[in-house]
Amino acid sequence: MTSIIITASIGAAQKMEAQLGLSLMEIIRDAGFDDLQALCGGCCSCATCHVYVEPERFDQLPPMSQDENDLLDSSDHRQQNSRLSCQVQFTESLDGLKLTIAPAD
Amino acid sequence: MDLLPKSAGKYVTNHWYAAAWSQEVAEKPFTRTLLDERVVMFRDGERKIAALLDRCPHRLAPLSMGECVNGNIRCGYHGMEFDGAGACVNIPGQTIIPSTAKVRSFPAVERYGLVWLWMGDATKADESLLPMVRRYGAEGWAVLGGGYQRHAANFRIEIENLMDPAHTTFLHKQTIGNPAAKNEPVQVKHVEEHGEKGIAAFRWLNNTPPSPFDRQGMTFNEDQKMDRAQFFYFFLPSISMVEIVSMHAGQEKTEENMDKGMRTFSYKFLTPESEKATHFFWLHVRNYRVGDTEWEKGLRAGLDKTYIEDNDMCSAIQLEQEQTGLRQQTGIAIDRAPVMAMRELERMISAEHGVVEAAS
């Protein structure tokens, strides 16, 4: 079983089952984390699925599109390790990835 | 989506806002509410625009109920006279003028046929910060000004509407809508021009047949194709500009080449009246059918009708927002530019006023 480890704004890190082929956003949302609004359902337009990725593994993620980069720029909470979780597909190489849900804008 | 303002202030105040068309301020006091402040405008002894808070410091009578006298404004209640700087210069029946007899004045400038007021800290007013209107006054370009509508919606709803090319197909099917455009993806970018920061949503449609509109302004050989673009700009905090380009296909997209085609710069200066209404000043600059006054009449009527369609929708949305306390319950792909515009706007308001810390 593949998994990711999610930290929300309140509470400890939780290990959740992660299905291959889904986006990180879908995995977090399906695991019941309400902090992640993901209003647009994955079309890279609302930036409400913002997460921080563990810095050591940030480079393992697929590169970011210009649209994602622009939207992240509009967040007051952007960090070096920010991503929009709807834009990252979960693959075997990301097994055990640690994510923190970023504060809402 | 949490797009509701979290700033301690409602508006960016340290900014030049369009307040009136120059011809609106003539022999009589002219009043308009901007950013929740009712302002009275008149012409001082040098015919320059003066703008004061529309409230006599004595019994709070609106000064706009008075009259203009010798370049001053005279209160319609007891005849106290104030000059363009807001200083009391005459009180009938007495020689002493109390130091408290003064009215707040707003820095005012006329440009592009409009009166611009600085609504914030007067010491920060700087004419170099006035917006730039492209090609205004340039040879070969026509300016259609004087457009004004009052829209019964918060300026954020207006900005979201103007940053959204996708709505034209549906809301404006009677006017500017183009069914062919509905599936074309829109790109978004950050922009900065002459110190004005903003966002542009745009799309190029390349190698398409000339539209009926193109044929009104240019001539074509048989089978000649067009490259055409729409750019939807938002300059913080309150200006929308739509640029439309139609040019013969295949040319490099330089400023010079685009100017040789048909080019439009359509400005909307959105000045909040309050949180529930927006002054919608529009100004249209073009390089085709210059001097054709009959055609221009039709253009003006068409633009006004289009903006009325916008107001019909925006004001209806305003009421729903007021009744529900919501802004948006889902997001769709076309939201990218409006979302970026709203975030940048809130960031600018917060930078001026500070952020309200969320209760935890």
The tens digit of pLDDT for each residue in A53-74 reads 999 999 999 999 999 999 999 8
Enumerate the H helices of B185-333 as residue ranges. 212-217, 255-260, 293-324
Which of B39, B176, B48 has its CA nearest to residue B118?
A: B39
Residue of A nearest to B187 (CA): A67
Cβ distance A74 to B339 less than 8 Å, yes or no, reads yes
Residues of chain A found within 8 Å of residue B339, distances taken between Cβ atoms: 45-47, 71, 74
Of A35 and B12, more confident: B12
Model pLDDT, residue B2: 43
- From chain A, pick out residues whose CB is under 8 angstroms from the CB of B347: 76
3-class secondary-structure state, position B31: strand
Per-residue pLDDT of chain B (360 residues; tens, 9 = 90+): 443 444 457 899 999 999 999 999 999 999 999 999 999 999 999 999 999 999 999 999 999 999 999 999 999 999 999 999 999 999 999 999 999 999 999 999 999 999 999 999 999 999 999 999 999 999 999 999 999 999 999 999 999 999 987 787 788 877 666 655 656 677 888 899 888 899 999 888 888 888 777 888 877 777 788 898 989 999 999 999 999 999 999 999 999 999 999 999 999 999 999 999 999 999 999 999 999 999 999 999 999 999 999 999 999 999 999 999 999 899 998 899 999 999 999 999 989 987 655 443
Bridging pattern class, strands B187-193 and B67-69: unpaired
d(CA B159, CA B269): 10
Q: Do A70 and B340 touch (CB under 8 A)?
A: yes
Residues in A closer than 8 angstroms to B188, CB to CB, are 67, 70
- Given a contact cutoff of 8 angstroms between Cβ atoms, the answer to whether B299 and B283 are in contact is no
Residues of A with CB under 8 A from a CB of B: 37, 39-41, 43-48, 67, 70-71, 73-76, 104-105
State the alpha helices, DSSP H only, in chain B: 155-162, 168-171, 212-217, 255-260, 293-324, 336-353
Judged by CB atoms closer than 8 Å, whether chains meet at B336 and A44 is answered as yes
Contact between A94 and A51 (Cβ < 8 Å): no
Q: Which helix (H) or strand (E) holds B27?
A: none
The per-residue pLDDT for B359 is: 42
Task: Identify all chain B residues contacting A78, using CB atoms and an 8 Å cutoff.
Answer: none
* φ/ψ (deg, to 5) at A10: -125, 135
- Give the position of tokens 């879908």: A26
Which of A99, A103, A102, A101 is CA-nearest to residue A18?
Answer: A99
The beta-carbon neighbor of A104 closest among B2, B335, B336 is: B2
Both tokens assigned to B90? 């005459």
Are the beta carbons of B330 and A67 separated by less than 8 Å?
no
CB-neighbour burial class of residue B31 (10 A; exposed 0-12, middle 13-18, buried 19+): middle
Q: Average pLDDT for residues A80-99, to the nearest whole number?
A: 97
